[in-house]
Amino acid sequence: MTIKIAKRAGIPPFLVMEVMRAANARVAAGEAVYHLEVGQPSTPAPAAVIAAARAALDADPLDYTEALGIPELRAAIAGHYRAKYDLDLAPERVVVTTGSSGAFVLAFLAAFDPGDRVVLALPGYPGYRHIVTALGLVPLSLETGPATRFQPTPELLDRIAGSIDGLIVASPSNPAGTMLTPAALAALAGYCSDRGIRLISDEIYHGITFGRRAATVAALSDDAVVVNSFSKYFSMTGWRLGWMIAPPDLARAIECLAQNLFISPPTLAQRAAVAAFDCRAELDANVARYARNRALLLRELPKAGFDDLAPADGAFYIYADVSRLTDDATAFCRRMLAETGVAATPGIDFDPGRGDRFVRFSFAGASEDMAEAARRLRAWRGGRGTGGDGGS
Ligand SMILES: Cc1ncc(COP(=O)(O)O)c(C=O)c1O
């Protein structure tokens, strides 16, 4: 007799992982690969974090912690909001999680019931759509484009037929790298508060911005869930640690869910992360490298025919409209990797409807790799101009 498999098990793969697999196969075969597909820092955790982890390994039994995280880390996160955003947060609203991914699961479970309708902007981080779907919620895709800097607006939300229970925003966003101005963010927060819509603000790329600072929704609304992570600015991706600023009305539900679903976030990572907030110089040096990489790619990519680029306000991505080069970005990326060794991510992960016309370049890697990748892309596209096919 066939045994049932849940429908949610049919969730699509995260395709960037498959690009990374193809790139790694090339590396294993001894060929050069320039990793412009990765969505993570190429640097290790700050030295003081690693030292704190070593000390904790020697001295600490590394038991379960409180479900909401160790008090020292929660206090350090609250201190971060004071220092960075001039915001006093009640420490009991700070919830340490297993990456921002863990925070999304907790927030969605606490805020929504199965069948609730949650708006997410396309292009967007695919995890939102897939977590929402896996939890039995209904993702409402909101197509955005250059006219709104690939971000949702109240006007776009007004066009959605039927009720809305939640809205996810990300500023800076992945893959477009665009930011909402503080006024635009406030307009969205006000829209949601007025209509009883739960706003979830993914602030994972805060700290990685070029020229202007990102505003936090925590300063605008106590009803919103603010999610952040140690994975990007803090360069602690594999440590699997994030946090959330929980709205007071959800805080207890989130605590009970966290106790039962995860018991506690990783203890070693928590002990180490307390030191992360004192590592500004090291972390800001990473951001300075991202800024140099960004400038290089913004200068060089157009010379290789990638001349329709989203404004890269923050994060470490450049989202290129490649519709003049191909109508199949996945095949285009496969061929680009095979012929140049440059790995990039086809847009289809981020926008199932229109992503075949887009490619995401990540500039999180080493500057030398960016320079060599740009040189290879220029050579590859050389002679083909911007009108060549490139896509088969
Ligand atoms: C926009 C965005 N949100 C959330 C995540 C998940 O990150 P983590 O679970 O490592 O915090 C990512 C990862 O790339 C991301 O790009």
pLDDT in tens, 22-42: 889 999 999 999 999 988 999
What's the confidence (pLDDT) of residue 48?
98
What's the confidence (pLDDT) of residue 384?
61
Q: Which helix (H) or strand (E) element contains residue 36? A: none
Cis before 175 (ω within 30): yes
What's the confidence (pLDDT) of residue 270?
98
Averaged pLDDT of the chain: 94
Q: If pLDDT is split at 50, 70 and 90, which confidence band does 170 have?
A: very high
What is the 100 CA–ligand 1 centroid distance (Å)? 6
Q: What is the pLDDT of residues 224-235, one digit of tens each?
A: 999 999 999 999
What's the confidence (pLDDT) of residue 243?
98
- Does residue 13 register a pLDDT over 80? no
- Does residue 115 register a pLDDT over 90? yes
* Average confidence (pLDDT) over 259-267: 97
Query: Using CA positions, which residue lies closest to atom 14 of ligand 1?
Result: 39
Query: Closest ligand 1 atom, CA of 202?
Result: 3
What whole-number distance in Å separates Cα of residue 370 and Cα of residue 300? 10
What is the 94 CA–ligand 1 centroid distance (Å)? 18
Query: Closest ligand 1 atom, CA of 174?
Result: 1
What's the confidence (pLDDT) of residue 21?
86
What's the confidence (pLDDT) of residue 78?
97
What is the 205 CA–ligand 1 centroid distance (Å)? 9
Please provide the size of the chain in residues.
392
What is the 41 CA–ligand 1 centroid distance (Å)? 12
Residues in contact with ligand 1 by the CB-under-6-Å rule are 39, 99-101, 125, 127, 170, 174, 202, 204, 229, 231, 237, 242
Query: Closest ligand 1 atom, CA of 237?
Result: 10
Which residues make Cβ contacts (< 8 Å) with residue 69, sequence separation at least 6? 94, 95, 96, 97, 243, 264, 265, 270
**pTM for this one?**
0.94
* Average confidence (pLDDT) over 80-106: 96
What's the confidence (pLDDT) of residue 1?
83
Beta bridge partners of 130: none
Q: Phi and psi (nearest 5°) for 147?
A: -60, -30
Strands 198-202 and 242-245: unpaired
What's the confidence (pLDDT) of residue 385?
44
What is the 167 CA–ligand 1 centroid distance (Å)? 17
* Average confidence (pLDDT) over 254-271: 98
Query: Using CA positions, which residue lies closest to atom 15 of ligand 1?
Result: 125
Q: Classify 371 in phi/psi space as left (phi over 0), alpha (psi -120 to 50) or beta.
A: alpha
Q: Classify 209 in phi/psi space as left (phi over 0), alpha (psi -120 to 50) or beta.
A: beta
What's the confidence (pLDDT) of residue 91?
86
Query: Closest ligand 1 atom, CA of 98?
Result: 9
What's the confidence (pLDDT) of residue 388?
42
Q: What is the pLDDT of residues 44-90, one digit of tens each?
A: 999 999 999 999 999 999 999 999 999 999 999 999 999 999 999 99
Q: What is the pLDDT of residues 297-353, one digit of tens each?
A: 999 999 999 999 988 999 999 999 999 999 999 999 999 999 999 999 999 989 999
Query: Closest ligand 1 atom, CA of 241?
Result: 11
- Does residue 201 register a pLDDT over 60? yes
- Does residue 221 register a pLDDT over 70? yes
What is the 204 CA–ligand 1 centroid distance (Å)? 7
What whole-number distance in Å separates Cα of residue 166 and Cα of residue 199? 6
Query: Shortest CA distance to 314 belongs to which of 239, 238, 204, 235?
Result: 204
Query: Closest ligand 1 atom, CA of 205?
Result: 1
Query: Which two structure tokens, joined as six digits, stand for 353?
Result: 């409807």
Q: If pLDDT is split at 50, 70 and 90, which confidence band does 381 have?
A: confident
What is the 153 CA–ligand 1 centroid distance (Å)? 22
